[in-house]
Structures are given as structure tokens and as C-alpha cells.
Chain A
Amino acid sequence: MSTETIRIEVNGESREVGGGSSVADLLEQLEVDGRTVVVELNRQIVRRGERDGVELEAGDRVELVRFVGGG
């Protein structure tokens, strides 16, 4: 991971992550339990097994969602 940071959007909010960060790195940085979360990157779902291999780029839009109570 390089020391440069890039700016991405996570759940509608601007965030900085280290350049070269993977989706898995992002979850770790945000302290989100990856087992119960679904990751959508630029409207495409990133499957659980692919999170290590997908690198984030400046301007990426990430959505982290999970189940909540609903009818």
C-alpha cells in the first residue's frame, strides 16, 4: 500500500483511503464486520471472495449494506 491517499465515497460520504487499498482493506479500516455486509462498488456487487483482489480507485462510489428490520 502506498503512502498516498485517494478520495472515495462510502455510503454517500467522502472518505480517504490509502492508495492501493482493496475492498477488504476498506472494511477493516471502517471496522465493519465483513461477514454480514454486502459491498457494492460503482453499482456492481463485489462478491465476498473477491474483496481482497479488488483495488479501490479515486472517485469510486462504495455502498456497504446489511439486513435491518423491515416488513
Chain B
Amino acid sequence: MSTVLEKGADREEPARVDEPLALRGRSFRSRLIAGTGKYSDADTMVAALRAAGAEIVTVAVRRVDLDASKEESLLHHLDPEEFFLLPNTAGCYTAEDAVRYARLGREAGLHDWVKLEVIGDEETLYPDVEEMLDAARTLVDEGFTVLAYTNDDLVTALKLQDAGVAAVMPLASPIGSGLGLLDPVGIRILKRRLDVPVIVDAGVGTASDACLTMEQGVDGVLMNTALAEAEDPVAMAAAMRRAVEAGRLAYLAGRMPRREWAVPSSPSAGRLT
């Protein structure tokens, strides 16, 4: 028995057929982008990011707490050699604010990439697409590489693409909701119609959500709360890494057709009479 098990364990992974995630001329080995918010402590965060295999990680820009100015900076924990830090404009409600935050993020970081987020509604955190388009155009003019968080509305996504964003990032469901992918068809339509990469941002709750999302053929998935709020963030991160890879490989492999009747897997020929 044990020999059989060992043989099984020795089997090699199938050859990787995937290409790296390409964004604005850069290639990234991981299609899982992770946020850095809401972790209980920095060590757990870094361990989870590593377990997730994340290369791009998002960060926010906020005021220094002057009463605790000696507190270790986030940069102390995130080595820019290991992680590509992507500043966001989270919490912005106007184009003007988002542009301001993007500029601050560029100054704090090492490059001119930004995850653009302009919120229009406090309860759902749905985007204000009008303000976002305005901000996207300004930032692209200023030379930013813009990854734009949006809803799954095709027309908005096409306008963002026309504005020159590097990626469109539709939500799977509301930020922090963990409801998973609510509209796979909408996401597939976006992917089919857009030339720029589509990265699903927000709403993934557990591994099957990430897998199902990647199975739609999108280029990547961004998650934060699903890892940070898991009981064991590092274990969930390891699961998510596999789920994203599995979903991607399943998409590339091409699934069998769905049919509402049975087809036997064993041959009908050669049955005893």
C-alpha cells in the first residue's frame, strides 16, 4: 500500500501552460494580487502574502499618527524587492481627492502605478464611475499607470479602456462582502470585449470564489479581506494561491460542455450478455 501512495506522491505537476500576467509591459509571475489591510499584525500579513504567492500588493496612503510617529512603517515589513507595492486611492469620493492621493502614493513609492478607486456610495462602496473616469483621464495624462476599480458595467469599462488605463478591475461583489462572484456572465462579457487585462477586484470570500472567478478567463484577482479576516490567514492564503492557479489552469484547459443528460464514462461495448 505504502509503495502505491509513494508513487502517487512522486507524480509531477503537469507542465505549466500559462504565461505570466502582463501589465503595461511588466510581467508578474502571480495572478493573485493581495491587499495589506486589516491584518492583526505585520508578521501574519507578510506570512499570508508569501503563502498567497502574491507579487503585487496594494497599500493605502494615510496621515502619519504624530503621537506614535516612531511606530514602524509598513515599508519596514514589505521589501520592495519582494513585493511590488501598488498604492490605492481607497476612501476617495471625488476625482480631485483621488488624484491627490495618487500623487502622494507615487511620491511615497518607487513607481507611478496606482490602483484607482473613487467611491460613490458609503454603504455598498460602489464606484462613482463619473468621478473615476475624470480621475483616470487626469492620471493617465500625468503619466500614471492606472488600474481602475469599477463595477462590471461594460460601457464604463470601455470608457476606462479608452481613457488609457492599464487594467480594468471589476468587482465580483461589494468590497469586503465575501459574497463571491455574483455575475459570472457580466465578467465574461467584460473579458471578451476588452483588450486591456481584466482583474477582478473585491468580493472573493473563499477559495472556490477565487477559482470560479479565474475560470471565467480573467487575468487576475485581487483580494484582501478574504485573507485578513480568515481564522487562519496564512492557511487561507495557501488555499487561495492554489485556487487561483487551479481556476486559471481549468480555464486554459477548456472545460467539457454542460449537458442535462448522462453519458456513461465506461464503454457500452463489451458488456456481458
Contacts and interface: CB of A to CB of B under 8 A. Distances in A.
The contact size tier of chain B is 35 or more
Interface stretch (B102-110, B234-242, B245-253): B102-110
A69 B74 contact: yes
Contacts, number: 100
A37 interface: yes
Interface string A40-71: 10010101000000000000000111111111
A46 B176 CA distance: 34
Select the residue from A12, A32, A36, A40 with max chain B CB neighbours within 10 A. Answer: A36
A29 to B, nearest CB: 10
Interface string A1-23: 00000000011110000000000
B107 A69 contact: no
Nearest to B86: A70
Given A30-B69, A45-B104, A63-B63, A70 B75 contact: no
B104 A65 contact: yes
Nearest to B225: A71
B99 to A, nearest CB: 11
Interface string B189-226: 00000000000001000000000000000000010110
Contacts of A10: 66
Contact of A65 (B37, B38, B63, B175): B63
Contacts of A31: 69-70
Interface residues of A, number: 24
A65 B75 CA distance: 13
A10 B64 CA distance: 10
B90 A71 contact: yes
B81 to A, nearest CB: 16
A57 B36 CA distance: 37
Contact of B104 (A11, A12, A40, A71): A40
A54 to B, nearest CB: 14
Interface of B: 35-39, 45, 58-64, 66, 69-70, 73-76, 85, 87-88, 90, 100, 103-105, 107-109, 175-176, 202, 222, 224-225
Given A11-B63, A71-B202, 11 more contacts: A30-B66, A33-B69, A36-B73, A38-B61, A47-B107, A67-B61, A67-B73, A67-B109, A68-B37, A69-B36, A69-B74
Interface of A: 10-13, 30-33, 36-38, 40, 43, 45, 47, 63-71
